[in-house]
Structure formats: structure tokens, C-alpha cells
Amino acid sequence: MEVMLMEFSPDFDALACQFDGPEVNAIVLMGSYARGNPGPFSDIDLVRFGDEHKKLHPEDGSYLIDGHLVVVSSVNPTQVEEWFSRPEAAVNVITGLRGARSLIDRNGIFAAIQTRALKFEWDAAMQEEADVWASQQMVGWIEEVHKGLEGLRSGDIGRMLNARFGCSWGLSRVMCVHCC
């Protein structure tokens, strides 16, 4: 069975306008479209930057626009600071910020964030925080190991599968942060 795919050249400026508002300081394109390597099923990732404690409209979420998934999320200055100070946040965002494409950038807010991301270095202090975070997470994931052990003891395959999923997901996240 062959799947017919239509070429899609999004109008990113028009998309940004749909999710803009007076409380929005910047809107950036992230993900595969920002990197220039989208696939036929890639979503369009828009991130809006706002002020502290101001709700941005329209709401964050997933939208189907012209047959394509557009995922909109909003962040405030506190969240941005966490990207640069918390290892579990840094591993998820810094690389994406470096390759993000600004669509709207009032007062150079995003330009400053992107410059900071380009200069960001994972130093000894960040590694120390990553080690502490990873050790705390490891203790927390003991629950999943116990589920697996109980599944083995009782012959409960469902419990073992749940434990396998929990351990796989949790430990892969720990490794991602700890070994950055």
C-alpha cells in the first residue's frame, strides 16, 4: 500500500500571527522544521515566550491546521531560567534553542535566549547537579523494580510489563541527564 504525501510548505509567519497576542514577546519555530529536515508526518513546533504569570491566548495545545499538526507551547522567564540551571531541563531544550528559528521577537527577547544557548557549556557544577538529580531519580525508580519483582514472584505478566516500561523510560531519562 503506497501512501500519497502532499508537499507542504508552511507559511510560518501566518502561523505565528494566529498564535500572537499583546502578551506574547516572541514566537519561535523549533524541531524538524527549524532544522530544515521535516518529514511528511512532522509536526510544527511553535514556542511562545511571555511574561511571568500571564496566560497566553489562544491556549497551548495541538492544533490541526491545513491538515498538519501544529503544537504550541508557552514559556515564561522562570521556565527559561530553569533551562539553563537545571540539568534535566537543559538536556531537553538547549540544543533545540540553538537551532530554533525566530518568527516574532519583540525587543530581542529570543535573540538573547538563543545567544545564551549558543554559549551554554555543561560545566562541572552542572554535572554535579546532574549527579544529584540522577541519584534521586534512581531511588525513585526502585518502585518500578519492586513492581517487576512482584510480577516475577506472582507470575503476573502485566505487572512485569508495566515495570519494564517504567524502568526503561525512567532509566533512559536518568542516563540522558547523567551522561550529558
Q: What is the pLDDT of residue 55?
A: 82
Residue type, 48: R
Q: What is the pLDDT of residue 114?
A: 98
Q: What is the pLDDT of residue 172?
A: 87
Q: What is the pLDDT of residue 2?
A: 56
Q: What is the pLDDT of residue 3?
A: 52
The total of other beta-carbon atoms located within 10 Å of residue 149's CB is 13
Q: What is the pLDDT of residue 68?
A: 86
Cell of 68: 498538519
Q: What is the pLDDT of residue 66?
A: 87
User: How many Å apart are CA 28 and CA 141, to the nearest integer?
Assistant: 35
Q: What is the pLDDT of residue 1?
A: 52
Domain edges within the chain:
12-119, 124-178
Q: What is the pLDDT of residue 52?
A: 87
Residue type, 148: G
Q: What is the pLDDT of residue 60?
A: 95
Per residue of the chain (180 residues), give pLDDT as tens: 555 555 557 999 999 999 999 999 999 999 999 999 999 899 999 999 999 888 888 899 999 998 889 999 999 999 999 999 999 999 999 999 999 999 999 999 999 999 999 999 999 999 999 999 999 988 888 888 898 999 999 999 999 998 888 888 888 888 888 786
9 burial (CB, 10 Å; 0-12 / 13-18 / 19+) is: exposed
Q: What is the pLDDT of residue 14?
A: 95
The CATH number of 12-119 is: 3.30.460.10
User: How many Å apart are CA 20 and CA 103, to the nearest integer?
Assistant: 10
Q: Closest Cα partner for 84 from 93, 75, 96?
A: 93
User: How many Å apart are CA 145 and CA 148, to the nearest integer?
Assistant: 5
3-state secondary structure of 10: coil
Q: What is the pLDDT of residue 176?
A: 86
Over the Cα atoms of the chain, what is R_g?
20
3-state secondary structure of 136: helix
